[in-house]
Chains A and B, each alone.
Chain A
Amino acid sequence: MESLRDIGWRETTRFIQAITILSWCFLTRLRDQNWFFVFSILVAFSGLLISLHHIPGIYRVIKARLRSSAQPSKEVQEERKRIASDLHDTLGSQLVEALSLMNSQSSVEDSPARKVLEQSLLDLRLIVDSMDAQSDNLAMRLARLRYRLAPVLQRKGLVLHWQLTDPELEVGLHTTLPLPRDRVAHEILAVVQASLSNAIEHADATEMWLILEPYQKGDLQSFGWDWYLSIEDNGKGYDLRAVLNDPSKSGHGVINMFHRMRNIGGDLHIHPRHGGGTQVLMRWRCESSSLS
Chain B
Amino acid sequence: MTAVQTSSRPPLFTNHNDAPPSISHSMWPGHMVGQREQPVRVFLVDDDSHIRRVIAQDLMGDSRTLLVGHACSLREARKSIQQHDFDVLMIDLNLGDGDGLDLLELVQGTHPHVQSIIVSSTERDEKVFKAFEKGAVGYLLKNSWFGDYAQAVLQVANGGASITPSLAKKILSLVSRSQTYVVSASNCSKEEKLSEREIEILKLIACGYSSPEISTHLKISTMTVSTHVKNMYRKLQAKTRAHAVKAASLRGLI
Enumerate chain A interface residues (CB-CB to B < 8 A): 81, 85, 88-89, 92-97, 99-100, 103-104, 121, 124-125, 128, 132-133, 139-140, 142-148, 150-152, 154-155, 159-166, 169-172, 207, 211
Contact = CB atoms under 8 A, between A and B. Distances in A.
Contacts of B48: 89, 93
B53 A100 contact: yes
Interface in B166-210: 166, 169, 172, 203-210
B206 A143 contact: yes
B51 A93 contact: yes
Contacts of B144: 151
Given A89-B48, A154-B15, A171-B204, A133 B124 contact: yes
B87 interface: no
Contacts of B51: 93, 96-97
Interface string B46-80: 00101101100110000000000000000000000
A161 B169 contact: no
B14 interface: yes
Nearest to B58: A100
A170 B123 CA distance: 23
A158 to B, nearest CB: 11
Contacts of B223: none
B50 A97 contact: yes
Contact of A96 (B16, B50, B166, B206): B50
A9 to B, nearest CB: 46
B3 A172 contact: yes
Given A88-B143, A92-B142, A133-B124, A169 B206 contact: yes
Interface string B108-120: 0000000000000
Contacts of B53: 97, 100
Given A96-B51, A100-B54, A162-B4, 16 more contacts: A93-B51, A94-B50, A95-B143, A96-B146, A100-B58, A121-B143, A121-B145, A133-B166, A140-B165, A144-B208, A146-B165, A147-B141, A147-B165, A151-B15, A154-B145, A169-B207
Output the residue of A88, A89, A132 with the most chain B CB within 10 A.
Answer: A89
B213 to A, nearest CB: 6
A143 B146 contact: no
Contacts of B124: 132-133, 144
A19 B147 CA distance: 82
Contacts of B54: 93, 96-97, 100
Given A132-B124, A150-B17, A170 B169 contact: no
A178 to B, nearest CB: 15
Given A85-B121, A100-B54, A164 B207 contact: yes
Contacts of B5: 161
Contacts of B121: 85, 88-89, 92, 128
Given A85-B121, A144-B165, A144-B166, A162 B210 contact: yes
Interface string B67-103: 0000000000000000000000000000000000000
B151 to A, nearest CB: 10
B142 A89 contact: yes
Given A97-B50, A97-B53, A166 B207 contact: yes
A170 B6 contact: no
Nearest to B144: A151
Nearest to A139: B207
Contacts of B123: 144, 147
Given A162-B4, A163-B3, A169 B142 contact: no
B217 to A, nearest CB: 10
Nearest to B139: A147
Output the residue of A124, A142, A169 with the most chain B CB within 10 A.
Answer: A169
Contacts of A164: 3, 207-209
A143 B165 contact: yes
21 contacts: A81-B122, A88-B121, A88-B143, A92-B121, A95-B143, A96-B50, A96-B143, A133-B166, A140-B166, A143-B206, A143-B208, A144-B124, A144-B208, A151-B148, A154-B15, A154-B145, A162-B210, A164-B3, A169-B207, A170-B203, A171-B206
B208 A142 contact: yes
B208 A162 contact: yes
Contacts of B172: 169
A151 B143 contact: no
Output the residue of B143, B203, B213 with the most chain A CB within 10 A.
Answer: B143
A173 B51 CA distance: 42
B143 A147 contact: no
Contacts of B205: 143
A93 B15 contact: no
Contacts of A103: 146
A151 B148 CA distance: 8
Nearest to A213: B3
B207 A150 contact: no
A143 B209 CA distance: 8
